[in-house]
């Protein structure tokens, strides 16, 4: 027999929430806090979409490592496919989906590298093994065998046996500076709530619009 008990749903974006959400960062922070409590694995996972030189979209997951009024930050290898795509076309879209809350957040805008000191500070906070991995991985390049990767890890483990592991010059963070942020909340019978915020540039105030689902 199927369990027909109605699922407990998070509250939708009521008229009050819509009015209260004067700017999207505060609403994102509230949703992200709830996601951290509700999602057992990687509530910080987000799809990063870029475009290649032919305009063909490319999407993959990355982890959100910080956000504030300046934008949303992830870390990666500048020599990866996404790094090359961002160098040629510094614009991106990010999408979060928190299944347990039945919520989606989408944002898009321009992309800029974080300051070297910011990348240094985040790299220093990573585990030593992850730091070695950043040196050993030529992210997105062909790898002849798993053994070749393990040998590279052993080589860099020996190289950095003493002292701190420096940040590789090609490993850094990117900040997506949103021009648009949309919040989507699932509601019964597919009568979902959507609120879109947009601004013409990063210094302009946000305008918000409720959208048909
Ligand atoms: C949940 C999850 C989180 C990930 N987080 C990151 C990340 O923060 N940075 C990163 O470079 N790759 C991350 N990856 C791996 C990327 O999805 C991707 O495989 C890799 O960055 C190479 O992408 P590219 O070839 O398009 O550059 C993550 C993958 C998953 C499934």
Q: What is the pLDDT of residues 38-69, one digit of tens each?
A: 999 999 999 999 999 999 999 999 999 999 99
Residue 15 binned pLDDT confidence (cut-offs 50, 70, 90): low
**pTM of the entire predicted model:** 0.92
Q: Ligand 1: distance of its center to the CA of 84 in Å? A: 14
Q: Which atom of ligand 1 is nearest to the CA of 61?
A: 17
Residue 202 binned pLDDT confidence (cut-offs 50, 70, 90): very high
Residue 174 Cβ < 6 Å to ligand 1: no
Query: 56, 44, 174: which is closest to 122 by C-alpha?
Result: 174
Q: Which atom of ligand 1 is nearest to the CA of 81?
A: 27
Residue 104 binned pLDDT confidence (cut-offs 50, 70, 90): very high
Residue 76 Cβ < 6 Å to ligand 1: yes
Is the distance from CB of 96 to CB of 72 less than 8 angstroms? no
Q: Give the pLDDT confidence score for residue 190 in this predicted structure.
A: 79
Residue 16 binned pLDDT confidence (cut-offs 50, 70, 90): low
Given the residues 190, 194, 202, 210, select the one marked as catalytic.
190
Residue 82 Cβ < 6 Å to ligand 1: yes
Is the distance from CB of 202 to CB of 112 less than 8 angstroms? no
Q: 99: which 2 tokens?
A: 């299944």
Q: Ligand 1: distance of its center to the CA of 62 in Å? A: 5
* CA dist., res. 34 & res. 31, Å (int): 5
Residue 61 Cβ < 6 Å to ligand 1: yes
Query: 206, 201, 195, 204: which is closest to 18 by C-alpha?
Result: 195
Q: Ligand 1: distance of its center to the CA of 159 in Å? A: 26
H/E stretch holding 121 reads: helix 116-125
Is the distance from CB of 71 to CB of 48 less than 8 angstroms? no
Residue 191 binned pLDDT confidence (cut-offs 50, 70, 90): confident
Residue 7 binned pLDDT confidence (cut-offs 50, 70, 90): very low
Query: 94, 57, 60, 103: which is closest to 175 by C-alpha?
Result: 94
Note the maximum CA span of the chain: 61
State whether the Cα torsion 126-129-135-139 is positive or negative: negative
For residues 4 and 45, the model is more confident at 45
Q: Which atom of ligand 1 is nearest to the CA of 65?
A: 8
Q: Give the pLDDT confidence score for residue 55 in this predicted structure.
A: 96
* CA dist., res. 19 & res. 16, Å (int): 5
Residue 21 binned pLDDT confidence (cut-offs 50, 70, 90): low
Q: 60: which 2 tokens?
A: 């993959």
Known catalytic residue at 190? yes
Residue 210 Cβ < 6 Å to ligand 1: no
* CA dist., res. 108 & res. 62, Å (int): 15
Residue 117 clears pLDDT 70, i.e. is over it: yes
Q: How far are the Cα atoms of 22, 26, 200 from residue 179, in angstroms, in the given order?
A: 15, 16, 7
Query: 102, 19, 97, 30: which is closest to 67 by C-alpha?
Result: 30
Q: What is the DSSP letter of 115?
A: P
């Amino acid at each position: 027999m199927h369990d027909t008990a109605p699922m407990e749903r998070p509250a939708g974006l009521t008229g009050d929430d819509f009015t209260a959400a004067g700017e999207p960062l505060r609403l994102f922070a509230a949703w992200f806090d709830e996601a951290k409590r509700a999602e057992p694995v990687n509530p910080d996972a987000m799809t990063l979409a870029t475009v290649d030189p032919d305009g063909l979209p490319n999407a993959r997951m990355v982890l959100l490592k910080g956000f504030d009024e300046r934008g949303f930050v992830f870390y990666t290898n500048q020599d990866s496919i996404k790094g090359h795509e961002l160098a040629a076309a510094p614009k991106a879209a990010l999408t979060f989906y928190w299944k347990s809350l039945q919520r989606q957040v989408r944002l898009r805008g321009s992309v800029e590298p974080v300051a070297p000191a910011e990348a240094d500070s985040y790299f220093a906070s990573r585990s030593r093994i992850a730091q070695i991995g950043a040196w050993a991985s030529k992210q997105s390049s062909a790898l002849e065998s798993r053994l070749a990767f393990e040998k590279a890890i052993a080589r860099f483990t020996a190289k950095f046996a003493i002292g701190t592991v420096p940040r590789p010059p090609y490993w850094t963070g990117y900040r997506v500076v949103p021009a648009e942020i949309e919040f989507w909340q699932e509601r019964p019978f597919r009568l979902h709530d959507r609120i879109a915020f947009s601004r013409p540039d990063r210094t302009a105030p946000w305008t918000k619009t409720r959208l048909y689902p």
